[in-house]
Structure 1
């Protein structure tokens, strides 16, 4: 893969690495959301998901096992999106805000699928 592929992977990975680090440093809001969604062992779930984001994000950025890294990130994005951005439960500007983040995560999911399917 050329320079543009490297830059693209690094840019895609950057949001996962940053959010993973942020969630490890300040897990309380994410843990509250996980508790509200009745996720078993929410503290452990948040730590595990954050570790996947940092670890798989770093691998993706470096081009090491990009298929496995993008698959792990895509899998971690599903509960993050559904639990973190439930726009269907909101109204007004909060609904718009959550729906925007939900759609952004769907776009990230699509980008991860595209990266993971490259040969």
Structure 2
């Protein structure tokens, strides 16, 4: 792998590692959102998602099974994006903020698809 590819993968992974740690340290806001979306066992769902972000992010950053880890992260982004950033239910400034986060996650999803397509 090229140096730029390694750096890009590590930088992409850093966001997931950071979020995974933060969600383990302060899960309540995420659990509330999961409860509001009627996710079954929201505490467990948040713990699993946090573990995927931290574990898969760290493994992808160092190049261990990057395609598999990228797929795990991309898969975890789907419910995270839909549940965490429902801009369609918001108005005004909050709608705009949620829409930015929603599309940021779509961009991350695209970057992860690219990572998983690399040999």
Q: Quickly name the TM-score band, shorter chain normalised.
A: over 0.9
Please give the secondary structure, in 2, of the residue aligned with 1:17. helix
Structure 1 gaps, min length 5? none
Runs of 4+ in 1 over 4 A off after TM superposition: none
- Structure 2 match to 1:48: 48
The structural deviation recorded for 1:12 is: 0.1
| Distance (Å, rounded) in 2 between the aligned partners of 1:11 and 1:79 | 22
Q: CA RMSD in A?
A: 0.4
In 2: Cα distance, 1:38 partner to 1:22 partner: 22
User: Residue 105 in 1 paired to residue 105 in 2?
Assistant: yes
Cα distance, 1:2 vs structure 2? 1.2
* Structure 1 CA distance for aligned equivalents of residues 63 and 102 of structure 2: 27
Task: Give the Cα–Cα distance (whole angstroms) in 2 for the partners of residues 31 and 94 of structure 1.
Answer: 20
Provide the C-alpha distance between the structure 2 equivalents of 1:99 and 1:35, rounded to a whole number of angstroms.
21
Counterpart residue number, 1:18: 18
